[in-house]
Amino acid sequence: MTQGIVEAHRAGAISSATLLANMPALADAVRAVHDGSAALGVGVHLNLVQGRPLTRVPSLTNKRTGEFHRLPALVARALAGRIDPDEVGAECDAQIAVVRGAGIAATHVDSHMHTHAVPQLWPPIAAAAVRAGVHAMRWPAESLHRTPLAMPRLATNAAVALSWATVRREAPALRYPDHFIGMSLQGGRDVERKLVRALDHLEPGITELMVHPGHPDAMLASMDTYTWQRESELAALTSPAVLDRLRRGDIELVDFRALR
């Protein structure tokens, strides 16, 4: 994944990325950031649904494996009041500290599978960001008119938007982009056309455009089903059509530091 992000950044298509603090490839990602351009804004991709935690968080982990509960189980436990908010806060503190300890000044935070939009998880996640002095965050609610007429994706986007409408009012210290585009671009098919169309119809203000470029390998395949689609996204991001559209002069690439 890291190499794909680097390639898209060097091509002039990506200005911001996030790091997963509890994943095996962290050292390679940190090295790539330090070897690359300072123009890339780098934040923390808080992870409460995959792999092992950095702290002891029994309410977030499977007793048998010691790994995080996957998203459906996490949400169910959160709705049932079975998640300890102090554990959520401590794990987020630790993940942010790892990234900053690697010499990276985090520009913002977001979360794997948009878990920061879950109302029961939002308060400790937001508090951890503010404690760390990170005051910018992803706003993951995409306009439903962009979502393809595929019920699973439409339902997911609607659920995230509804949750986010509930929680984002509760942390006035945090700042967000004005708009978000992401789920409507996923799927790996016809990405170039979708990207150009999204760029052609940007609304005034700052829009976060979420993409997942990468070169899939065995490690990625063991953790995620979104594999070949990353190659499609990378090809689209570095295509002449997308790069020419970005260079037309009416779009400025920024990162979350522009919100400060």
Confidence band (pLDDT; 50, 70, 90) for 159? low
Q: How large is the average pLDDT for residues 102-121?
A: 93
What is the percent of the chain with per-residue pLDDT over 70, rounded to a whole number? 87
Q: In terms of Cα–Cα distance, which of 56, 135, 120 is closest to 85?
A: 120
pLDDT at residue number 1: 62
pLDDT at residue number 171: 60
Handedness of CA 42, 180, 204, 14 (dihedral sign): positive
- Give long-range contacts, CB 8 A cutoff, 24+ apart: 147-156: 147/183, 147/184, 148/184, 148/187, 153/183, 153/186, 156/183
pLDDT at residue number 11: 95
pLDDT at residue number 70: 95
Q: How large is the average pLDDT for residues 5-32?
A: 93
Q: How large is the average pLDDT for residues 92-103?
A: 97
Q: How large is the average pLDDT for residues 132-142?
A: 90
pLDDT at residue number 186: 87
Strands 41-46 and 16-19: parallel
Q: In terms of Cα–Cα distance, which of 211, 206, 215, 216 is closest to 255?
A: 206
pLDDT at residue number 93: 98
Domains in the chain, start-ordered, CATH in brackets?
2-259 (3.20.20.370)
Q: Distance of alpha carbon 32 from its chain centroid, rounded?
A: 18
The residue among 188 and 125 whose pLDDT is bigger is 125
pLDDT at residue number 155: 60
Do 109 and 124 meet the contact criterion of CB atoms below 8 Å apart? Answer: no
Q: What are phi and psi of 88, to 5 degrees?
A: -60, -50
User: Is the pTM here over 0.75, yes or no?
Assistant: yes
Confidence band (pLDDT; 50, 70, 90) for 149? very low
Confidence band (pLDDT; 50, 70, 90) for 162? low
pLDDT at residue number 119: 86
Confidence band (pLDDT; 50, 70, 90) for 165? low
